[in-house]
Copies of this chain bind each other. A is one copy, B any other.
Amino acid sequence: MEHLFLDPKNLPAWLDLERLAAQPFDLTDPASLAGQRIADYRCRSASFKLLYATQRADNSTLTALRELADQSGAIKQFLMMKQGATMNRISGFPSENRQVLHTASRDLFRETPDHPEATAQARRECEKLKSFLDDLDHGRLTNAKGEPFTDLINIGIGGSDLGPRATYLALRAYRQGQRRVHFISNVDPDDARAILADLDLSRTLANVVSKSGTTLETLTNEELVRTAYLRAGLDPRRHFLAVTGQGSPMDNQDNYLRSFYMFDYIGGRYSTTSMVGGVLLAFALGYENFLEFLRGAHAIDLAAENPDLDRNIPLLLALLGIWNRNFLGHQTLAILPYSQALVRFVAHLQQCDMESNGKSVTRLGSPVRHQTGPIVWGEPGTNGQHAFYQLLHQGTTIVPAEFIGFDQSQYGEDQEIKGSSSQEKLVANLLAQTLALAVGKADGNPNRAFAGNRPSSLLLAKRLTPRTMGELLSIYENKIAFQGFVWNINSFDQEGVQLGKVLAQDLLPVLVDQHRGQGLQTPGNILHRAIVEAAATEEP
């Protein structure tokens, strides 16, 4: 496989792009952002459309980007990934050395999936989930008093929290029977207390999610929550569910009402379409809505194979991102959904993108010679317009943006005020921002002038539903993987989180001693002692 681990700076298209970047397309020229360009610079995959006329790219740029994708074998690597190649590794060095098969968890809708074995495993878990929900729905599974469960607490962190949480919030409008999901993630004890304070535990399930079964925060919170159940006179075994790897320390059926498996070949941040997201989403939205979500993700997994760039949103988004990051030199990416339901989706993408592509070593173990993943951030519009958009329009640093919008609202309940509905106002604002950033405005008052030439794209669909949410998630998962393939980095490990963990373990006994007034008796190196002492609250 190493023949595909190519340094992108050695590819002819990379040199072409460097040349083109000396004079990027000028969006402020009145002739340049014509109607025909807006109509032409469109791409479609499944239910989504991408409008990208407001990027600083012209036909030459797009040709060179297409060649970059070809020369780096981006789609070829994507197919290999889906078929089970060991893409999670660093050649020549110890690494996770795993397959990357989150796509298999939604490849349930055709006779010949890309990786039959992984899909069969996913199907088995889905069947278990369906049977669990049937038992809940038909009153075969109740609390000790025979009452139905109305709430579920999800206990997980990182990949076992952000994607599932973002998706649940995005789809709350589709809840069945008003079932509610709550989330405890942080080791901060106040996180658990604030959630537990408002719940009737007797009617609440607790879903503990950790692939390794050893995640510090999750095990700690599981203990806190188990204690709360016991104090309430409830038997945790009637309430606790587990989602974990087979054979992990948590894989102990005696402790849990039901257990679901996740697999080594699915990374935490790519696990929303596995049982990690599945249990809570199916609980809240119903099994059929969960399947619709998977159907949407799968549709995009197929679209991402399309060599026609006009029909492959994930690849095109990846390439435009590379253009902005590596050639126009922008360090960040704002993702700006015009949908309040997507309020935590950007936090999930922040994880998925930055943990995947915040790397500086190639898959051959040498330092990268180019920039890798950008800093991803953002908040829903129109809220952001009243917050940080000032800097987007007039700051000294240019921030490329990806806008996300929908033609219709979820609830369909709206009101016409001054000749337009709220949803129409929302969409008008979305379209206006992309134009304003691009074209700018001259003004005799320098403080009221806008330089323009701030690139953005628009990702649009009719409505945010379980299906389009699955598509949206998959667009970004695949975009991120494509960027990693081109950048020749391993987008599927996270070695960069290890050092902090190790240091925290070393510091903890020093801190506990100091905190409990026992001085600093514990052996510990001078740095640990110094920072613990300095952090102590006495007057410096």
Contacts and interface: CB of A to CB of B under 8 A. Distances in A.
Interface stretch (A3-11, A186-194, A275-283, A312-320): A186-194
Interface string A119-141: 00000000000000000000000
Contacts of A394: 358-361, 495-496
Contact of A383 (B185, B427, B534): B185
B217 A382 contact: yes
Contact of A360 (B339, B375, B395, B512): B395
A46 interface: no
Contacts of A428: 504-505, 507-508, 511
A535 B341 contact: no
Contacts of A186: 340, 380-383, 426
Interface in A371-396: 371-377, 379-383, 385-396
A53 B366 CA distance: 31
Contacts of A515: 407, 424, 427
B389 A497 contact: yes
A373 B385 contact: no
B34 A526 contact: yes
A348 to B, nearest CB: 8
A341 B186 CA distance: 10
A451 B93 CA distance: 18
Given A194-B173, A526-B35, A433 B500 contact: yes
Interface centre among A397, A422, A447, A497 (most CB of B within 10 A): A447
A229 to B, nearest CB: 13
A494 interface: yes
Given A189-B414, A421-B189, A534-B51, A527 B354 contact: no
B49 A497 contact: no
A187 B389 CA distance: 16
A79 interface: no
Contacts of A526: 34-35
Given A188-B339, A354-B395, A395-B360, A435 B379 contact: no
26 contacts: A35-B527, A44-B539, A93-B446, A161-B386, A186-B380, A186-B382, A188-B340, A188-B382, A192-B422, A193-B413, A217-B382, A220-B417, A331-B331, A358-B392, A358-B393, A359-B390, A359-B395, A374-B397, A390-B496, A392-B496, A405-B535, A424-B508, A433-B500, A435-B531, A448-B495, A461-B537
